[in-house]
Amino acid sequence: MAEIARLNGHREWIDLDFVERERTPESAMALGIQTHVAGLSLSNTVELLDCLGVQRSRKAIHDWVQKADLQPESGKSPKQIALDETVIRINDQQFWLYAAADPETNELLHVRLFATTTTALTEMFLRELRQKHDVESSIFLVDGAQHLQTALSRAGLQFQMCRHGNRNAVERIFRELKRRTSSFSNCFSHVEPETAENWLRTFARWHNAPN
C-alpha cells in the first residue's frame, strides 16, 4: 500500500507543541499520528506501538491526532486551484467536504466540512482560503456546479469550467481519502463533525508532507 510505504518519511510536519506532561516519548507520538493518518486503524496503531514498547490505548492515539490540530500550511500562491466538494457520511448523516487543491503540486490548500452545500457556505470557504493563501491571480477550475461558480463570481475570482485535466487533481485526492478510510467507517462513526473535520485537516497536512 503506497500510504504505508510513506511511514519512513519525514515527521517534521507533526507539531507536538500541544504536549504537556505527556508520558509517551514524542517520537512515539509522532509515529502514532503518522501511522494512523497514513493508513493503519487505531487498533493496528496500538499494536505497532506496543511492539516498540509503548503501550497506549486507541483513545490516546485518537486524542494525539485531535490535540495536534494539524492543517495545511499557509502562504501558497498557486497558478491554478481545483475546487470541488464530495459527500461523506458521519454517523449515518450526510455532510459535504469542500477541498481546494493545487494541481501543479497536488497539495491540498484548504479543507472544510459542512452540513449542507450552499452559495453562502462556498463564499465562507473562499474567504478562509483567501486568508490562508494568495489566490487573487489564481484560476479556479470547477465543474458545472452553479453555487461554486456563483460564489467565485461574487468574490471577484477567476474561474474556468473544467471537467477533466487539471481539475482531476482534487478528484484523485477525494478517491485517496475515501480509500484510506473505507468510506470513513473506521474513523467517522460515533464522532462529532468537528472531530471528523480535524482528522481531515490532519490528513491534508500528511498528504502535503515530503517523504
Q: Where are the domains of the chain?
A: 2-68, 80-190
Residues of the chain with pLDDT under 70: 1-10, 21-22, 164-167, 169, 178-187, 189, 211
Domain 80-190 has CATH 3.30.420.10: yes
d(CA 45, CA 48): 5
According to the model, what pLDDT value does residue 165 have?
66
Residues contacting residue 203 through CB under 8 Å, at least 6 positions apart: 37, 177, 180
According to the model, what pLDDT value does residue 167 have?
64
According to the model, what pLDDT value does residue 180 have?
65
d(CA 90, CA 78): 31
According to the model, what pLDDT value does residue 5 have?
43
